[in-house]
Amino acid sequence: MDRFTAVVDVEGVNALVVGGASGLGEATARRLHEGGASLTIADLNAERGAKLAEELGERAQFVEANVLEAEQVEAAVAAASESAELRISVCCAGIGWAQRTVSKQGPHDLEIFSNVIKVNLIGTFNVLRLAAASMVDNEPDDDGERGLCVNTASIAAYDGQIGQVAYSASKGGIVGLTLPAARDLASRGVRVMTIAPGLFDTPLLAALPAEQREALGAGIPFPSRLGLPAEYADLVAAIAANPMLNGETIRLDGALRMPPK
């Protein structure tokens, strides 16, 4: 079977994918649904999210949600656990911004820096805390596990480039909370993992000219191409299948270490 279409067996499991209407989240939503999960897609983009849920059909629903709004995320978690216990939560929601600490225009805009931190870091934690709160009441499986929460960081958490101070800080925060959150939840049987993708073929890069996209891919040691969203979904599937993966951030980057610019 082609490695990009292999599915994880999550038959009968309820899963929530936040930021699931496009890119890495969409690929993850498709993978979990293909594996038999009952899927809740949560996203700000109601049109894309509803369209994806309609395309997937049975066992898929869409809930509009802003990761910064506790009540909206609570509603998404409630929808995801309505028919059965919520067992898998994946957060792919996030935004990017490029601005130097000090540029010709002056110091970095503080409001923009704050907003990136809010959406990427606080939004991710909002999803994590509310999904985990639902999972701790689940019946444990044979290994004592009650649920899995997967966050999305970035290699910018480690190799932030010029102009990525806000983005890198937000993603570094996600990396930093992974282990203590896993330790917090260990006695409750809930695992916490983070994936730090490198350069992936997502809608963000799709706006670039083909030459630029090819050049970016050529700079990756191996494989020398942009990552495929399905490969992110593959890793989510592998994490779901391996209960010893806990409290760790996995770089998914083809051995790429980002240069300063």
Active-site residues, by number, are: 167
Residue 193, classed as helix, strand or coil, is strand
Residue whose C-alpha is closest to residue 30's, from 228, 260, 257? 228
DSSP-assigned states of every residue in 8-62: ---TT-EEEEETTTSHHHHHHHHHHHHTT-EEEEEES-HHHHHHHHHHH-TTEEE
Instruction: Report d(CA 207, CA 143) in Å as an integer.
Output: 45
Contact (Cβ atoms closer than 8 angstroms) between residue 165 and residue 108: yes
Q: What one-character DSSP code corresponds to residue 164? A: B
- The residues, any chain, with a CB within 8 Å of residue 55's CB and separated by 6 or more, are none
